[in-house]
Structure 1
Amino acid sequence: MKKILYFLGMIAILTSCEDVVDIDTPTEPPRLSVDAVIRLDTTLASTTARIRVNLSSSFFDNNEPLSVKSVFIQNLDYAPEDPSKSNVLFFFEVAPGVYEGTKETSFFTTGKLSLHIEYNKEKYYAETEFVPTSPINKLEQGNETLFSGDETEVVISFTDDGTRDDFYIFDFDFNEYLVSEDEFYQGQEFEFSYFYGDSIKPGQEINISIMGADESFYNYMNQVIVQSSSGDQGPFQTPAATVRGNIFNITGIENLDDLQSIEQTDNFALGYFAVVQEFKQTIIIE
């Protein structure tokens, strides 16, 4: 059964006011901020992974790119076919705060992956496993609008895998994200509309992708999207309040098997480490 859901964007109502109002914005000491969401095209033999590292700043300010001592991913479950290759992927800085490393795609899709970052004599750690997703069946422009009549509708559909519980993250370009879970459409084709504001013009190219997620990453993205309003700020910039990801400060900790106890401390990094399958399509607005 095909179900259709229309996602309505947030509407900002602007009113004029003669009085100047001072607002106390949230403040917090700078933290290491890491965008380590690795999107995989599993049809490729090798993958160049990219990780961005920043130092968080005050509310409304941009994060500052950061150079760190080391960044690497380890996969103890991975056995390379070539004995000369290792189960560790080292990343190298290619631009301020941007680190890249290339490895065979099978390195990312098998077993447990752990991320290690060293900065300012402190060590950070996160772990994850590859999460698959479903391909896009259809992506087309619709004719419906919302309230102003200037919105642009895109219609997207995919078929959920009924053999597992799936969580999805949609990237609609321009730092616009959406999350969904298959509780009400498991094993079915699911179709919905997404509306862009009047900034979208005819002839404009939009890249839209569907990514897999486990429940923890789904919950994290759901919180960050709400706090960032999924606008120009984007879900990997400093949100209105701290959203805790899965990257822990493990300085001085010997036993990494007990991550639950590490979660209780206040010394952690912002951001998230995830390795997910991605299907992407492009649409040109008419």
Structure 2
Amino acid sequence: MKCKAIIMLLGVWIFISCEDVIDVNLPEQETRLVVNGLLRVDIDQEFVNVEISMMETSNFFEDNQPTQVESAAIIYGIPDEFGEIPEPVFSNLAEREPGSGVYVPDPNFTSDQRIRTADVGPGVSFFLQITYNDRSYFARTEYASTVPINGLLQGDNTLFDEDETEVIVSFTDVPDQENYYVFDFGFGEFLALDDQFIDGQAFQFSYFYDSNLEPGQEINISILGATQDFYNYMDLLVEQTDNNGGVFQTPIATARGNVFDITDLDNIDVFDNVGQPELFALGYFAVVQEFTQSLIIE
């Protein structure tokens, strides 16, 4: 038995020592602009917290890196029956710190470029215009309101693992209209929910954290409003990322957002590049109302 074991170990050592290092040549992919443009509106604040992250895709083994754009601006207002905004308001953006890739209302502009919360409400449309590497990008979204969280409770149940922590969330849906919600549970964990089966009802559900939360730890949970398109986008991202690493860290290439390359388009009314499907940025631009509650883990 001992001789056989020694022979087996010797064979394993020879196998390992003879291993060759194999270089895998991954296909070169053209870099893309990545836009993290989720603007959360707190109606108790005077101004909307505008922070839009611009990144550039990198190779397979590296995280996306901050990048700089030539120009960026938000235009907003209430559109008329033709979808045009008769009295548009502009918010010109500038990089907050050199090299950060984070764009905020330009503090050095001749007038205040911040967006007042009082100017944001149902029916208001927002447009994001970006110039990057001599190409023009455009995104359009509508403001999405939401309802507050009624309550947060810590439960005792588990789903798959005894180390999970159950949090019970309750809210009341607005009746007689299609509503979409995105819940932000922190730690890069999101849940997209619609009201197809809960229209106008008080609703309660459980969410299970698979990470080890410590007693006394405070967690923040937010409910965000969502348009149907934003709901579909987040639902797809959550499914593809499986809540691993955060859905906004490295957007999946197959999850097309609403930021389109319009450089070569001759019809501004058709901005989604249906004739050039390979030209698009990653990420999403959305303006949503947010309510947040905190919970102390016991």
Give distance in 1, aligned partners of 2:72 and 2:190: 27
CA contact (8 A) 1:59 1:239 kept: no
Q: Which runs of 5+ in 1 are unaligned?
A: 1-17, 79-84
Task: Please list, as runs of the form range in 1=range in 2, the aligned pairs for 1:26-175 lying within 5 A after superposition.
Answer: 28-77=29-78, 87-95=89-97, 96-101=100-105, 102-109=114-121, 110-175=123-188
CA contact (8 A) 1:166 1:181 kept: yes
Change (3 A) 1:196 1:26: farther
Structure 1 counterpart of 2:236, from 205, 217, 223: 223
Cα displacement (A) at 1:259: 2.5
Give distance in 2, aligned partners of 1:103 and 1:241: 31
Q: Which runs of 5+ in 2 are unaligned?
A: 1-15, 80-86, 106-113
Give distance in 2, aligned partners of 1:27 and 1:221: 28
**Is 1:270 aligned to residue 272 of structure 2?**
no
Give distance in 2, aligned partners of 1:154 and 1:196: 8
For the residue of structure 1 that corresponds to 2:120, the secondary structure is helix
Give distance in 2, aligned partners of 1:193 and 1:180: 13
**Is 1:176 aligned to residue 183 of structure 2?**
no
CA contact (8 A) 2:148 2:171 kept: yes
Change (3 A) 1:49 1:221: same
CA contact (8 A) 1:173 1:206 kept: yes
Q: TM-score, normalised by structure 1?
A: 0.84
Give distance in 2, aligned partners of 1:105 and 1:244: 29
| Structure with larger RCO (C-alpha < 8 A, sep 6+) | 1
Cα displacement (A) at 1:268: 0.6
Cα displacement (A) at 1:255: 2.7
Higher strand fraction (1 or 2): 1
Cα displacement (A) at 1:119: 1.0
CA contact (8 A) 2:38 2:286 kept: yes
Q: Deviations over 1:110-130 (max 9, x none)?
A: 522110011111110011110
Q: Percent identity?
A: 44
**Is 1:243 aligned to residue 255 of structure 2?**
yes
Highest CA radius of gyration, 1 or 2?
2
What residue is the counterpart of 1:7 in the other structure? none
Cα displacement (A) at 1:137: 0.3
Give distance in 2, aligned partners of 1:108 and 1:24: 49
Give distance in 2, aligned partners of 1:116 and 1:252: 15
CA contact (8 A) 2:53 2:103 kept: yes
Number of equivalenced pairs: 262
**RMSD of aligned C-alpha atoms?**
2.6
Give distance in 1, aligned partners of 2:170 and 2:249: 29
For the residue of structure 1 that corresponds to 2:48, the secondary structure is strand
